[in-house]
Chain A
Amino acid sequence: MMDKKYRFIFPESNVQDSIVYSMVTECKIEPSILRAGIDDDGCGVLILRLKGEEELIEKALKFAEDNGVVINELGDHIMRDEQKCFSCGSCVSVCPTKAFSYDPETFEVKLNIEKCVACGSCLSACSTHAVTLTL
């Protein structure tokens, strides 16, 4: 069983095609779409979580790639500068997935990258510019 998050970038040429629908029906996977939009350069961006058999997910990724989608696995997409961060926590209550949380003992702010869905809400909440999202 695999559980990973990916960023799909759809080129302008096929931004209106139903690639995800075809991918889901073709490969029988169950994605959770975390974020979807079209950037001002005309490209589509989709952040999605894929959970399921490794074989099926690989098939789905290949299907999307064959249809012109550029795929990046999310892992180190959010970074925190430990020197700048002073654990105030202004990112904590704006984070919809609790990727940022206080350690209940020390009250140090912790970042759980696996929970981050790259929404970017923390970026403008952080007054020391300690967080960067590399998407």
Chain B
Amino acid sequence: MAKTYEEINDKIRKGKAVVLTAEEVIDLVKQKGAEKAAEEVDVVTTGTFGAMCSSGAFINFGHSDPPIRMTNIMMNGVEAYGGLAAVDTYIGATAKAEGRGYGGGHVIEDLIAGKTIHLHGWGPGTDCYVRKDIETNITLNDLNEAYLYNPRNLYQNYNVATNTSDRTLHTYMGKLLPRMKNATYSSAGQLSPLMNDPHLDTIGMGTHILMAGGDGYVTWQGTQFNTTAKEKNGVPISGSRTLAVIGDMKGMDAKYVRGLDISGYGTSLAIGIGVPIPILNEDIIKKTAISDDEIYACLIDYSITSKNRSAMAQYTYAQLRSGMIEYDGQKIRTSSLSSYWGAKKVAADLKDRIEKGEFLLNVPSMMLPKEGKVKGLEVKG
């Protein structure tokens, strides 16, 4: 029995929609089968809360009197982009203040938390924008617009990182102890948005999402969008699709946002994002019923710095989440870099809002590409 977005939204408005998280749906489909489950369930909610480096915020400061066209901008000592119109900027999550573990991700967290940010701007001084220098303090409320526009979030699967060398490595996959003493992974697995709609049958341009507790939307395929990864049980076993997303910072909750200072790598932003999957038919609910023991990821040796490093082994997220994997007879301690606890909270929060009729689903205005391949950067000339 097929359902439409309109039918589902009608039920949401009436407070009658049946909503399960991507964890809860696993057992239901096992018990009742996909056909019956698809009749009962209207929406499955997913969630993730982890580092998403390709993130940042567009901001409009408003004009001072006399006005300035800012070409160099510092926010709490972190450089923001000065190549937009007079008082517009973009501050990226990985931009870093000099000499301390504070960056764009922390500026974004502080703004959302309502804290005051020191702004210093410089301009050339023109006939229409005479001011050359401005220094002031701002809060999120003072800004005209402030929205996150993240070009690559919600990675569909990712590596498991380990280190076979004799020294500790500090990587974007966290601290990797020598001689494979530990391994880290980052996907929310069975709760991860793109693991539950692996071929983007429902997620597309304009999909309404929960972004750090506020309203957000899918705006495009993410950068490095890749559909060529090998699949097992219908989901890719390595980094694959990504999404570009947008969300109003003024509606966000700081509990779902963290500026990160990843030792030896730099700064970043962790953010909690939830995506609803409308159960339009049996096939869609089957895909949301995927569990951690069916999703695989590849163990990669991060002491090899060449791009062409091969997978050492594959493990399921159930194995990874058990805290220990085995490679070549050696036991390796595992832990996550993204918060599964946070992912559960995001999915539960989204479920709650849909049940209360506060969050409606959008029909995508365009589906995302069915094919995408990642090219490398050649050194030429």
Contacts and interface: CB of A to CB of B under 8 A. Distances in A.
The reply to whether chain A is a binding partner of chain B is yes
Given A125-B263, A128-B260, A86 B339 contact: yes
A93 interface: yes
B183 A106 contact: no
Interface residues of A, number: 23
Interface string B127-155: 00000000000000000000000000000
A68 interface: no
B106 to A, nearest CB: 10
Interface string A112-135: 000000000100110111000000
B175 A90 contact: yes
A124 B258 contact: no
Given A86-B49, A89-B336, A94-B177, A128 B341 contact: no
B323 A90 contact: no
Interface in B312-338: 321, 323, 333-338
B170 A127 contact: no
B261 A127 contact: yes
Interface string A55-99: 000000000000000000000000000001011111111100000
Contacts of B336: 88-90, 92
Nearest to A101: B323
A6 interface: no
A129 B261 CA distance: 8
Given A93-B333, A125-B175, A125-B263, A106 B258 contact: no
B330 to A, nearest CB: 14
Interface string B335-348: 11111111010000
Given A88-B270, A93-B183, A94-B182, A107 B263 contact: no
B262 interface: yes
Given A102-B323, A128-B260, A90 B340 contact: no
B123 to A, nearest CB: 35
B335 A90 contact: yes
B101 interface: yes
A54 interface: no
B131 to A, nearest CB: 37
A131 B262 CA distance: 14
Given A127-B261, A128-B258, A92 B344 contact: no
Contacts of A107: 321, 339-341, 344
A124 to B, nearest CB: 4
B184 interface: yes
B170 A124 contact: yes
Contacts of B264: 124
Interface of A: 84, 86-94, 101-103, 106-109, 121, 124-125, 127-129
25 contacts: A84-B258, A86-B258, A86-B270, A86-B339, A86-B341, A88-B270, A89-B335, A90-B175, A90-B184, A90-B335, A90-B336, A92-B333, A93-B183, A93-B184, A94-B182, A94-B335, A103-B341, A107-B340, A108-B341, A121-B177, A124-B264, A127-B174, A127-B263, A127-B270, A128-B258
Interface of B: 49-51, 101, 170, 174-175, 177, 182-184, 258-264, 268, 270, 321, 323, 333-342, 344
